[in-house]
Amino acid sequence: AMDLFGDLRRMNKRQLYYQVLNFAMIVSSALMIWKGLIVVTGSESPIVVVLSGSMEPAFHRGDLLFLTNFHDDPIRAGEIVVFKVEGRDIPIVHRVIKIHEKENGNIKFLTKGDNNEVDDRGLYKEGQNWLEKKDVVGRARGFLPYVGMVTIIMNDYPKFKYALLAVMGAYVLLKRES
């Protein structure tokens, strides 16, 4: 750690400003890419990590899902959706098992985890028996197996997350262009 501060002290102000700007560009580029994905996919969260085993064997804990959420695309039974429930912060990844379509075109639907014994009515807010289109964050369109385990590890061990961020930040600040 002392070596790190020694490196910082040896840099002249111009080098330090350059490194800080470089770091800011990396962060802003990542944010722009994320916002671009939101626009292209129509989903407020175009990439999510499966956090539980409720969808096994289709998806395992740590799988990274790619989502789209186009409003003119009707939801069908058998599709895997990611939805948010009032009062819960974390979205849920489950399969649509029943569709309830009204004559005016409104659709309500019921979900269930492939690995669960019962449907999701116990997860919905009190008094809610069906989900609506507004509850959907997106629909699974593809996945990368286990890539999201890094996210799960960082959530389970916050100290690891801060250590990793500190190392990455120090690397970007101290890395000199050759």
Q: The domain containing residue 19 runs over which residues? A: 1-41
Residues 64 and 32 placed together within one structural domain of the fold: no
Q: Which of 43, 54, 63, 135 is catalytic?
A: 54
Tokens of 38: 């939101």
Give the model's pLDDT for residue 136: 95
Q: Which of 43, 63, 120, 135 is catalytic?
A: 120
Per DSSP, the three-state class of 6 is helix
Is residue 94 part of the annotated active site? The answer reads yes
Residues 115 and 97 placed together within one structural domain of the fold: yes
Is residue 54 part of the annotated active site? The answer reads yes
Residues 37 and 52 placed together within one structural domain of the fold: no
Question: Does the predicted TM-score (pTM) go above 0.85?
Answer: no
Residues 36 and 116 placed together within one structural domain of the fold: no
Residues 62 and 124 placed together within one structural domain of the fold: yes
Give the model's pLDDT for residue 3: 65
Tokens of 121: 């009515």
Q: How many residues does the chain have?
A: 178
Find the range with the poorest average confidence among 50-54, 78-82, 148-152: 148-152
Is residue 45 part of the annotated active site? The answer reads no
Residues 139 and 170 placed together within one structural domain of the fold: no
CATH code at position 92: 2.10.109.10
Domain count of the fold of the chain = 3
Give the residue-averaged pLDDT of 6-29.
81
Residues 36 and 85 placed together within one structural domain of the fold: no
Q: Determine contact, residues 63/146, Cβ cutoff 8 Å.
A: yes
Q: Which of 43, 63, 94, 135 is catalytic?
A: 94
